[in-house]
Chain A
Amino acid sequence: MKHRIGLAEAVRLRSPGDDNIVFRYGTVLLKGYSFLSLARQALTGHKGWPVIWRSPEVKKSYDVIIIGAGGHGLATAYYLAKNHAVKNIAVLEKGWLGGGNTGRNTQVTRSNYYWPQSAAFFDHSLKLYEGLGRSLNFNVMLSQRGILNLAHNAYELEGMRRWANAIKINAIDAEVLTPIDIKKLVPLIDLDCRFPVHGGFIQRRGGISRHDAVAWGYARAASALGVDIIQQCEVTGFNTASGRVTGVNTTRGTIGADKISFAVAGHTSHLAKMAGFRVPVTSMQLQAMVSEPIKPCLDTVVVSTAIHMYVSQSDRGELVIGGGADVYNSYAQRGGIPVLQENVAALLELFPVFSRLRLMRQWAGITDITPDTTPLMGLTPVQNLYISGGWGTGGYKAIPAGGDTMAYTIANDKPHPLIEDFGLERFKSGALIDEGAASGVAH
């Protein structure tokens, strides 16, 4: 036994950060994932793996309730428990964990933003992603394969040079590429397509990871710290007393809370309305699709803002394809044929070689689009009620930083320094952070 604990200690000491302490106690070799636990399970037919998060009964009240068990909600709960020693936390989810936009996005992580506030926030997120697998003891399959933005005319290339310079001034990596560089990096691309490729820029630290693993990893780590994750529990209203939240009504009864935060991508307006205030959000469908799996042929994320398409190849071999949103209000989660056709036509113009592939699946998530495409984070007009929304088409990449900064915001009842400019007040002061151009896909 002594020898086993020694090994666990070794695993812990080898990992940067103190996060693995979560999995340290006694049973670490069963609970924590390691080569040793994998070998042991292999010997017993993989029948002994424990359930990775608890499904507890709902308590009467909590210190903090987080609405929405997607990436942002779960990460917020995890960092609240880990960094701010909040003991009594619940995450309420109307459907199943990670079943909203966390499970519908195209898994891109990047920090190639233009404005300093966004750059600082999203690079904090990318840095957390870089250590996330170790921190959570859960493989999130981060692959920093580079994210390449294409320019289809001289003026767009000029704009990208400026954009890349802004990124570098913000101490983030970016590199302008010539068409020859691009052809070397992505041999299958047709540079002389209808809108010829004049160049582009790449953020090499950008890439993809596995979205389900991010949700499951945070859920497991939060659960191990005592967070109650309650699925199939829909919030139907807020209870308030003299301008301050006191709890929520749910499909599983009334639950009291000192503080409440919501991260309900797509339904932000809906929750805000329940709480009695309005938000600058339009809900729109953003669709994505995957091809049948093929052998590895594309090891870069390729984005074209001008012709509205992005593509990467997943570890399963499927091409993951996305593009612009369906630009009218919708909560339908399916996506229309015109936008699907536009995405595919753009893909085939750049990669004629993919024309024989069949699409296997197509779906849509409901995204919160704000006027400046910058998120809504921080305090709300209701005391002790906090918002994390307006993530638009790019909330996935923000999950670790969103969780980290919202946990701080909830614990201290004031916005984390990284999100001070992301509050609702900016629509009164006029200090918008217009990231429309930098969001990768214009909408």
Chain B
Amino acid sequence: MLRISCPWCGTRDELEFTFGGESHVTRPTPDASDDVWSDYLFNKENPKGVHYESWMHRYGCGRWFNVARDTVTHEIYAVYPMGEAKPDLGETDRE
């Protein structure tokens, strides 16, 4: 059971949240090539280590926020607002 700290409501069980997948994915411009669009739409970072991802507090405030979470230990290193840059976590990548 993940325990996630919603920036607005406090720490709750994962059951209250909806997972939104990888964060910090930038939408290409309309004139981008098929390769770029395909990469944007389908390809994932999917790291073994820290994953920068979005969650939504569905059964709470209903707001989205970002989480930096380890995909091996499930440890949550940081919770930060949408639109903010990735926090610097130092050397945590397992790959």
Listed in ascending order, the chain A residues whose CB lies under 8 Å from chain B are 267, 269-270, 273, 278-283, 327-332, 336-338, 371, 427-428
Closest chain-B Cβ to A277's Cβ sits at a distance in Å of 9
**B1 & A280 in contact (Cβ 8 Å cutoff):** no
Closest chain-B Cβ to A326's Cβ sits at a distance in Å of 9
**A329 & B2 in contact (Cβ 8 Å cutoff):** no
Residues from chain B with Cβ under 8 Å of A280 in the complex: 42-44
Residues from chain A with Cβ under 8 Å of B41 in the complex: 427
The prevalent SS among residues of A at the interface is mixed
**A332 & B73 in contact (Cβ 8 Å cutoff):** yes
- Return the chain A residue nearest B21 by Cβ: A282
Chain B 27-43 near chain A by CB (<8 Å), digits 1 or 0: 00000001100110111
Closest chain-A Cβ to B67's Cβ sits at a distance in Å of 10
A278-B74 contact in complex given A328-B19, A329-B46, A336-B2, C-beta closer than 8 Å: no
**A270 & B71 in contact (Cβ 8 Å cutoff):** no
- Return the chain B residue nearest A330 by Cβ: B71
Residues from chain A with Cβ under 8 Å of B51 in the complex: 329
A281-B73 contact in complex given A329-B51, A428-B34, C-beta closer than 8 Å: no
Choice from B14, B48, B53, B73 contacting A338 with Cβ under 8 Å? B14
Choice from A267, A327, A337, A428 contacting B48 with Cβ under 8 Å? A267
Chain B interface residue count, CB cutoff 8 Å, equals 27
Q: What is the CA–CA distance of A336 and B45 in the complex, to the nearest angstrom?
A: 23
For residue B61, CB closer than 8 A to chain A, the reply is no
A328-B1 contact in complex given A269-B44, A428-B38, C-beta closer than 8 Å: no
Q: What is the CA–CA distance of A85 and B41 in the complex, to the nearest angstrom?
A: 40
For residue B15, CB closer than 8 A to chain A, the reply is yes
A279-B43 contact in complex given A329-B51, A331-B48, A428-B38, C-beta closer than 8 Å: yes
**B42 & A427 in contact (Cβ 8 Å cutoff):** yes
Q: What is the CA–CA distance of A337 and B13 in the complex, to the nearest angstrom?
A: 11
4 closest residue pairs by CB, A with B? A280-B42, A269-B46, A278-B43, A328-B19
Residues from chain A with Cβ under 8 Å of B47 in the complex: 269
Choice from B14, B21, B35, B42 contacting A336 with Cβ under 8 Å? B14
For residue B78, CB closer than 8 A to chain A, the reply is no
Q: What is the CA–CA distance of A147 and B42 in the complex, to the nearest angstrom?
A: 32
Choice from B2, B14, B35 contacting A428 with Cβ under 8 Å? B35
Residues from chain A with Cβ under 8 Å of B53 in the complex: 328-329
Residues from chain A with Cβ under 8 Å of B13 in the complex: 338
Highest count of chain A CB atoms <10 Å: which of B34, B48, B51: B48
**A331 & B44 in contact (Cβ 8 Å cutoff):** no
- Return the chain B residue nearest A280 by Cβ: B42
Choice from B1, B22, B42, B48 contacting A270 with Cβ under 8 Å? B48
Question: Apart from A279-B43, A327-B19, what 20 extra A-B contacts exist at CB < 8 Å?
Answer: A267-B48, A269-B45, A273-B95, A278-B43, A279-B46, A280-B42, A281-B46, A282-B44, A282-B46, A283-B46, A283-B71, A329-B53, A330-B74, A336-B1, A336-B2, A336-B14, A338-B1, A371-B42, A427-B41, A427-B42
Closest chain-A Cβ to B14's Cβ sits at a distance in Å of 6
Closest chain-A Cβ to B58's Cβ sits at a distance in Å of 13
Near A by CB (< 8 A), chain B positions 32-89 give 34-35, 38-39, 41-48, 51, 53, 71-74
Residues from chain B with Cβ under 8 Å of A273 in the complex: 95
A332-B72 contact in complex given A338-B1, A338-B15, A428-B38, C-beta closer than 8 Å: yes
Q: What is the CA–CA distance of A329 and B35 in the complex, to the nearest angstrom?
A: 24
Residues from chain B with Cβ under 8 Å of A331 in the complex: 48, 71-72
Closest chain-A Cβ to B54's Cβ sits at a distance in Å of 11
Q: What is the CA–CA distance of A329 and B46 in the complex, to the nearest angstrom?
A: 7
- Return the chain A residue nearest B74 by Cβ: A332
Q: What is the CA–CA distance of A428 and B22 in the complex, to the nearest angstrom?
A: 20
Q: What is the CA–CA distance of A273 and B48 in the complex, to the nearest angstrom?
A: 11
| CB-defined A-B contacts under 8 Å, sample of 14 | A269-B44, A269-B46, A270-B48, A279-B46, A280-B42, A281-B44, A282-B46, A283-B48, A283-B71, A330-B74, A336-B2, A337-B1, A338-B14, A428-B34
